[in-house]
Amino acid sequence: MADAILKLAYEVSRVTEEKVGLIEGVMQRTGVLALNARLEAARAGGAGSAFSVVAQEMGAVAGDIRGIASALREAVSTNIDMLKRAGSEMQFEFRGERLTDLARNAIEIMDRNLYERSCDVRWWATDAAMLEALANPGSETAAYAQERLATILRSYTVYLDLWIADRNGKVIAHGRPDTYRGVIGADVSQCEWFQRGMAAQSGDDFAVCDITTKPLLGSAAVASYSTAIRAGGRRDGERLGAMGIFFDWAPQAAAIVKGVGLSDEERGACRVMLLGADHRVLAASDDRGLLHERFSLDTDGSERGWYRSGNRIIAFAKTPGYETYQGLGWYGCIESRIAPERDGGLD
């Protein structure tokens, strides 16, 4: 709608300028004719006096019409400028609201994805093989737990690995021993995922950590989920150890930011991002600044919205959470460049 208004405004301006120009051209010719007529009337003397009056009046009429044409050009120009500004503002408003909706959609998709991870960890922590490996530690129970973890990983390809650690923080089993060597026996007692998982108040609770890189997983970026493994699989059972599951962040997040519903034209002008609570770039459609850039986002205390900053529109939406996953204060964010070559235009 805004584009149509702007196109109409430019077309009205063009046509008005063209037609007023034609009127002025005709009046200029009329003025020249009137001047020539007065000269001829003067040359004719008394016989041409009546014709002189007519010629003089023709010149006056031409002058009046030139004045009207000039006033028309000024009036139309002023109103066209107002119409252009209104159309441009409508265009920005429409684009800003659209990008805000898309930013919210991106963070909602991620929220739902991560909610499923919170369900996974609580479910798998009650698996009989995990319980047995911690309740009756030994090579056989650990091997069986490892086999079960490997089976899970063959179906759930969004994970890099799944770990079981005893109450002292020693990893006793994981799902990919052939890929990630050195995990068995690792001390994770000081790791956030282990400490927070062990601190879960009941089997219904879980911990989720912000995106970090894991050296034991090839320094890959992961979202870590954990919970305590409890005796008998009971929600109030004694804590025997902890399960940690490591979501393969990079490809899953990239699929979301690169899959946002932008047009081809918009895609070339936009950078779609997932930002942490501290505005750290967790994912970006251009793959720049991942996990180290802090994007300059000014929310002004709002959970969603958009604003202009120089030659950019910045749209954002804070995580709403999903079901029992409350989110970590992340944002969906879209940065869109404004085309400099067109007044009020957008890329």
Total number of domains in the chain? 2
Residue 342: the pLDDT is 45
Calculate helix-pair angle for 128-135, 139-155, nearest 10 degrees: 150
Give the three-state DSSP class for 135. helix
Give a yes or no: residue 308 inside a domain.
no
pLDDT at 343: 42
Of 252, 281, 296, the one marking the end of a domain is 252
96 in any annotated domain: no
Judgement on whether residues 66 and 139 belong to the same structural domain of the protein: no
Whether residues 8 and 133 share a domain: the answer is no
Separation CA 332–CA 154 (nearest Å): 31
Q: Say which CATH number the domain at 29 has.
A: 1.10.287.950
Asked if 135 and 58 sit in the same domain, the reply is: no
For residue 227, tell me if it sits in a domain. Answer: yes
* Domain with 30 in it: 2-90
The pLDDT of residue 344 is 44
Are residue 57 and residue 180 in the same domain, yes or no? Answer: no
Q: Give the residue from 90, 106, 135 where a domain finishes.
A: 90
Note whether 122 and 240 are same-domain residues: yes
The pLDDT assigned to 54 comes to 59
SS (H, E, C) 46-108: HHHHHHHHHHHHHHHHHHHHHHHHHHHHHHHHHHHHHHHHHHHHHHHHHHHHHHHHHHHHHHH
| pLDDT at res. 75 | 63
Of the residues 198, 218, 252, which one is the last residue of a structural domain? 252
What's residue 86's pLDDT?
A: 60
Residues 244 and 13: their CA atoms lie apart, in Å, by 66
Residues in the chain with pLDDT values less than 50:
2, 341-345, 347
**CATH number reported for the structural domain that contains residue 210 in this entry:** 3.30.450.20
Each residue's pLDDT tens digit, 154-174: 999 999 999 999 999 999 999
Tokens of 7: 């196109």
Q: How confident is the model at residue 325, as a pLDDT?
A: 85
What confidence score (pLDDT) does residue 5 get?
53
3-state secondary structure of 225: strand
What tens digit of pLDDT does each residue of 4-23 get? 555 655 666 666 666 666 66
CA angle centred on 332, ends 327 and 333, rounded to 5°: 150
